[in-house]
Chains A and B, each alone.
Chain A
Amino acid sequence: MNLDVRLPLGLLFLTLGLILAGYGLVSDPAIYAAHSLGQNVNLHWGAIFSLFGLAMLFLWKRGAAR
């Protein structure tokens, strides 16, 4: 099987993470006061998603190199 699942996994979570984090930077802070106990969960979890995506892409690249 030529497609390593870590590639689409990494790309998906990096993409979703960047969308979330980007939205977290530009969105109205009032939505966080209304929902997530005042925490900018879009920014925080966008960063986590992005890091996870990058980790998967790193593992994919390392696997491809072997």
Chain B
Amino acid sequence: MNVFFASAGDSLAASAGSIRFDLDPVDLVILAVYFAFVLGIGWVLRRHQKTSTDYFEGGRSLPAWICALGFIGANLGAQEVMGMAASGAKYGISTSHFYWIGAIPAMVFVGIFMMPFYYGSKARSVPEYLKLRFDEKTRAFNALTFAGMTVFSSGISMHALAILMHAILGLNYHVCIGVSGLIVLVYIYTGGLTSAIYNEVLQFFLIVLGFLPLVILGLQDIGGWSGLMTQLGLYSEAKGMPGAWSSSWSHMGDASANPMGVEWFGLAMGLGFVLSFGYWCTDFLVIQRAMAAKNMNAARRTPLIAAVPKMLFPALVILPGLLAVALLQRGDALHLPITPSGETDYNMVVPALLAKYFPTGMLGIGLTALMASFMSGMAGNVTAFNTVFTYDLYHSYLHKDATDAELLRIGRLTTIVGLVISAGCAYLARSFNNIMDMLQLVFGFVNAPLFGVFLLGMFWRRSTGHGAFWGLLTGTATAMIFHGLTLPGHGVDAGIKGGWLGAPQHIFTSSMAQNFWMAIFAFAACFLSTIAISLATKPNKTDDELRGLVYSLTEKPRDEGVAWYARPATLGIAVLACTVVLNVIFW
């Protein structure tokens, strides 16, 4: 789940009907082959799902490179593939901040500093780590909110997929919901987390090799990189922000000088620190993939290896958006829908470019890659849901004496229930667009302060259970109040976008700026209140209980026997250095 993006379902619903794919039998054969492999992997792996560790944790036996591709694949849902292209069109190259600031530093941090606690503590989930480190109420808060978020996110993916398939292929909405849910159900029910990760690996390569031709053809068509920059320059001039679409940092000094409407401090602290670390360091959806690794070194290297393709993904997912803007600027037809306010709706950029550049054959590949990315979003959320429900809710509160066989049965049953609930959420999104926006908002309130608790929990042994729980609530309440007292622009009505608590105290230049600053305030409130309440309450864990859970009481991981170039610290430094270089190149 990615809290950075608005519900894809709403945007796609508005775009429906403007682009149609005419598929030939070869495209359908390609689709059929892919789904046969997807189901086949689950079928083959079913014999190896003998224990709950096999089913929920991949047996803790997977190599780092597989976990790494699963780590990034679980995050690479269609809302990112299509959402990033739309953002590339709306914000230009500065969209790369979501990767080079909004992902890489956090991925390096979690690999080097946090995986020793997640993996070494033997916690089976992120909420379970919170229970071991703090107490049951902190675990329960995280488990319940996370479980809710995953099924709703899965539902959003399901709904967005059905809307898109209806729009471009004319398929029946209900059939899409049913078939997509059934496919994901079969391969997760049979093969568990390993099946999900293996399919994420397939999906990763399918997206890379499926969309790379699109980017290459688009660049050839527009006249290469220089041709692209020329058209973006003309577009930026027309928008009154010269150069803003072709630079990442040089227009970040003033929020009104760039299309994002954010200045550098809000970007760096709000996105680069709070939201980024809050997602990559605490979201069990991605952490679960690293925890499936075969040993500590592999677990630490998982996010670091994943950071390498993540760094390069802007070329694959943002460039289509830039190309769309450039092609339209040149006067090409792209058949993108127009919003009621007369603006081009870029949410359908990827399907529009697929229809433009891919003949039948490759069109089947592109469509398969798109569908695969939606389904991996569903599957990733369902595997996280069934694990958190089984371990953190069922085993912790409903049946503490459950045998391992029972946990395995419950996990499989939860997979079915999770997908049924997801389908229900999909229909809810279809009927009440605002409910999804509202839920995404609520989840944003909860996520913003989360990293504060983890940071203090892992690195300050004096933080207590009361401090963590009330700090989380304080941070969440702060986020809500902040949202209720601010608006994301002049002329925006009070309501779901903010200002619902009374006269707005501040009006930001964009909703992105509002979100980033809300995150900063929520994190600060959580951080400070956790410290204050911890100091005012007695520690609830002894040093022995905290061993392996807190930095100062944990033996540092040793890298003896590991070649210097494979050590996490080396990989981390190399990744960060490359990210700095990329930021400089695209300054």
Contact = CB atoms under 8 A, between A and B. Distances in A.
A37 B41 CA distance: 37
Interface stretch (B321-329, B355-363, B498-506): B355-363
A27 B364 CA distance: 14
B98 interface: no
B408 interface: no
Contacts of A41: 213, 217, 358-359, 361-362
Most chain B beta-carbon neighbours within 10 Å: one of A16, A37, A48, A49: A16
Given A1-B48, A1-B62, A37-B221, A9 B202 contact: yes
A52 B209 CA distance: 10
B220 A37 contact: yes
A20 B209 CA distance: 13
B361 A23 contact: yes
Contacts of B213: 36, 41, 45
A8 B187 CA distance: 14
A18 to B, nearest CB: 10
B271 to A, nearest CB: 33
Given A37-B217, A41-B359, A48 B209 contact: yes
Given A5-B201, A34-B359, A23 B26 contact: yes
Contacts of A15: 33
Contact of B37 (A3, A8, A39, A49): A8
A24 to B, nearest CB: 7
A42 B33 contact: no
Interface of B: 26, 29-30, 33-34, 37, 40-41, 44-45, 48, 58-59, 61-62, 66, 194, 198, 201-202, 205, 209, 213, 217, 220-221, 356-362, 365
A66 interface: no
Given A8-B198, A11-B37, A45 B48 contact: no
Interface of A: 1-3, 5, 8-9, 11-13, 15-16, 19-20, 23-24, 27, 31-32, 34-37, 39, 41-42, 45-46, 48-49, 52
A31 B360 contact: yes
B42 to A, nearest CB: 11
Contacts of A35: 356-359
Nearest to B368: A16
A19 B34 CA distance: 12
A19 B362 contact: no
Most chain B beta-carbon neighbours within 10 Å: one of A19, A23, A27: A23
A36 to B, nearest CB: 6
A14 to B, nearest CB: 11
Contacts of B30: 16, 19-20
Given A1-B45, A41-B362, A52-B209, 4 more contacts: A27-B359, A27-B361, A35-B357, A35-B358
Nearest to B44: A3
B61 A20 contact: no
Contacts of A49: 209
A21 to B, nearest CB: 9
Contacts, number: 90
Most chain A beta-carbon neighbours within 10 Å: one of B29, B201, B221, B365: B365
Contacts of A3: 41, 44-45, 48, 198
Q: Specify the main secondary structure of chain A where it touches its partner.
A: helix
A57 B362 CA distance: 23
A45 B44 contact: no
Contact of B33 (A2, A16, A32, A45): A16
B358 A8 contact: no
A1 B26 contact: no
A24 B30 CA distance: 14
A9 B359 contact: no
Given A11-B37, A12-B33, A19-B29, A1 B59 contact: yes
B207 to A, nearest CB: 13
A52 B45 contact: no
A9 B62 CA distance: 16
Nearest to B201: A5
Contacts of A11: 37
A42 B45 contact: no
Contacts of B33: 12, 15-16, 19
A36 B357 contact: yes
A33 to B, nearest CB: 9
A5 B66 contact: yes
Contacts of B40: 8
- Ordered nearest first, which 4 A-B pairs have the shortest CB separation? A42-B361, A31-B359, A35-B359, A23-B361
A19 B361 CA distance: 8
Most chain A beta-carbon neighbours within 10 Å: one of B34, B217, B360, B361: B361
A8 B198 CA distance: 9
A37 B362 CA distance: 14
B361 A20 contact: yes
B26 A8 contact: no
A50 to B, nearest CB: 11
Nearest to A49: B209
Nearest to B54: A1
5 contacts: A1-B59, A8-B37, A8-B40, A12-B37, A27-B359
Given A36-B217, A45-B213, A16 B198 contact: no
A36 B362 contact: yes
Nearest to B354: A35
Contacts of A8: 37, 40-41, 198, 202
B357 A19 contact: no
A54 to B, nearest CB: 14
Contact of B201 (A1, A9, A16, A24): A9
Given A9-B205, A12-B202, A37-B220, A42 B37 contact: no
A36 B37 contact: no
A3 B38 CA distance: 14
Most chain A beta-carbon neighbours within 10 Å: one of B34, B37, B362: B362
Contacts of B205: 9, 13, 52
